């Protein structure tokens, strides 16, 4: 029998997703200057829930107020925002779907001036052309590593208490867990670095602590790189080993991605153009097939899907179990209902071109253009699918400078 987009999926913990469409995490940047939850987030997730999505995954909620990735991040360290957290959870569930919180720590991957300092497994700077934007981090002490592991668990527990349906640990895209996994950014000589086994010790400890604090029946997933796409970085072989260990521990869903700020293949801007990938639409689908050959863990894939046929093909070859949607529902929040009715997108995702090569190749514009559409929904407005990218870039430069200025004043 052919798998349909509307078919439910039962996760290992027993939780059921009502269909095979998931809103992947996108950084909304709709928190307050001091990183608290807002009504705008509630409004956006009610809109996405009404669009028919089977599950929403929130964007980039931070576990430590001292380590924010960008202005407008939400930080969950305690229950100070419990009323709005509960409202956010209910909004994501308002039309029968689920909502998970993506929990993260940026490590060194946050702009200069955002935090008093940046930390990472090792004091490895960014490559030269990015050092103007990103500071060289300080290497974490072991006591700090143990504290961060506890923080991941505490944030997950608070999310459960607020009524969210699950959490996704962010282990991809060059953030802190990804930094521990990569030999390029983890050059430690203690138990947290060196061999691939030692480098994956941190992500396994984070998962174990989260599971300990939320219990066996609460869904826990992870977003993990298939590779860093940098010479000498985290490899597919190492990624497979991490997924195998997490599967043995009971992980409920693995979302496969790839890349870092230094190699942003996750945006599609520099995505390798293999014929097989182009024909089957999805990024990283060759890797999910390798995972499937070794693990029965539920798999999610985001990026590159363009048609109902491409999504169904990925499901029915066994390469994935759920389809991640991101940019497409930032401009068309009702898209899931169309897809579930076997109708194609009204506004297909297309490349954003400014003519400024450095901007077009960086992936920065992609992120900011779609964030702006999310912000429109947060104000109760509709997205503008054809908004000119140069206009968005102009407003981003103004707003990000103001956001960084306010963040610096806040931490002074």
Domain 9-351 sits in CATH at 3.20.20.70
Under 8 Å between Cβ of 188 and 181:
no
What are the strands, taking DSSP E only, across 140-289? 166-171, 220-225, 253-257
Per DSSP, 137 falls in state P
Q: Which sequence spans correspond to the domains of the chain? A: 9-351
Contact 134, 110 (CB under 8 A): yes
Residue 346 burial class via C-beta count within 10 angstroms: exposed 0-12, middle 13-18, buried 19 and up = exposed
Q: Which of 35, 51, 60 is nearest to 92 (CA)?
A: 51
Alpha carbons 389 and 381: distance in angstroms, whole number: 19
Nearest residue to 25 (alpha-carbon basis) of 288, 230, 303: 303
pLDDT of residue 222: 98
Instruction: Give the per-residue pLDDT at 269.
Output: 47
Q: Where are the beta strands (DSSP E) in 63-141?
A: 98-104, 119-120, 138-139
Instruction: Render each residue's pLDDT in the chain as its tens digit; 412 residues.
Output: 899 999 999 999 999 999 999 999 999 999 999 999 999 999 999 999 999 999 999 999 999 999 999 999 999 999 999 999 999 999 999 999 999 999 999 999 999 999 999 999 999 999 998 899 999 999 999 999 999 999 999 999 999 999 999 999 999 999 999 999 999 999 999 999 999 999 999 999 999 999 999 999 999 999 999 887 778 789 999 999 999 999 999 999 999 988 666 656 665 544 444 544 445 577 899 999 999 999 999 999 998 899 999 999 999 999 999 999 999 999 999 999 999 999 999 999 888 777 777 666 656 677 788 999 999 999 999 999 988 887 777 776 666 665 555 555 556 5
C-beta of residue 121 within 8 angstroms of C-beta of residue 186: yes
At 380, phi and psi to the nearest 5?
A: 85, 15
pTM: 0.91
Whether the CB-CB separation of 229 and 178 falls below 8 Å is answered with: no
Which of the 8 DSSP states describes residue 32? -
């Amino acid at each position: 029998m052919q798998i349909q987009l509307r078919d439910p999926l039962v996760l290992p913990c027993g939780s059921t997703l009502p269909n095979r469409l998931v809103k992947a995490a996108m950084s909304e940047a709709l928190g307050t200057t001091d990183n608290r939850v807002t009504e705008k987030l509630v409004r956006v997730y009610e809109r996405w829930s009404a669009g028919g999505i089977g599950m929403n995954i929130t964007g980039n909620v931070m576990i430590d107020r001292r380590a924010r990735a960008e202005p407008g991040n939400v930080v969950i360290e305690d229950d100070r925002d419990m009323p709005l957290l509960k409202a956010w959870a209910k909004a994501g569930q308002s039309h029968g779907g689920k909502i998970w919180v993506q929990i993260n720590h940026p490590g060194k991957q946050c702009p200069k001036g955002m935090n008093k300092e940046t930390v990472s497994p090792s004091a490895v700077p960014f490559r030269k052309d990015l050092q103007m934007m990103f500071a060289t981090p300080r290497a974490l002490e072991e006591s700090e590593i143990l504290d961060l592991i506890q923080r991941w668990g505490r944030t997950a527990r608070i999310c459960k208490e607020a009524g969210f349906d699950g959490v996704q640990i962010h282990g991809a895209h060059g953030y802190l867990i990804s930094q521990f996994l990569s030999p390029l950014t983890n050059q430690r000589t203690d138990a947290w670095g060196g061999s691939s086994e030692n480098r994956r010790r941190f992500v396994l400890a984070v998962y174990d602590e989260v599971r300990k604090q939320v219990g066996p029946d609460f869904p826990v997933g992870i977003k993990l790189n298939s590779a860093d796409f940098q010479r000498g970085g985290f490899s597919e072989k190492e990624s497979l080993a991490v997924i195998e260990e997490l599967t043995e521990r009971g992980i409920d869903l693995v979302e496969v991605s790839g890349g870092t700020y230094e190699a942003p293949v996750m945006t599609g801007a520099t995505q390798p153009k293999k014929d097989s990938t182009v024909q089957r639409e999805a990024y990283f689908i060759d890797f999910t097939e390798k995972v499937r050959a070794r693990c029965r863990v539920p798999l999610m894939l985001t990026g590159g899907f363009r048609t109902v046929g491409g999504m169904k093909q990925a499901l029915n070859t066994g390469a994935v179990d759920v389809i991640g949607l991101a940019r497409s529902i930032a401009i068309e929040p009702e898209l899931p209902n169309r897809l579930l009715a076997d109708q194609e997108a009204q506004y297909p995702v297309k490349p954003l071109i400014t003519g400024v090569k450095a901007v077009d190749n960086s992936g920065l514009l992609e992120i900011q253009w779609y964030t702006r559409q999310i912000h429109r929904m947060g104000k109760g407005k509709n997205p503008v699918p054809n908004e000119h990218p140069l206009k968005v870039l102009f407003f981003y430069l103004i707003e990000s400078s103001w956001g960084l200025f306010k963040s610096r004043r806040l931490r002074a």
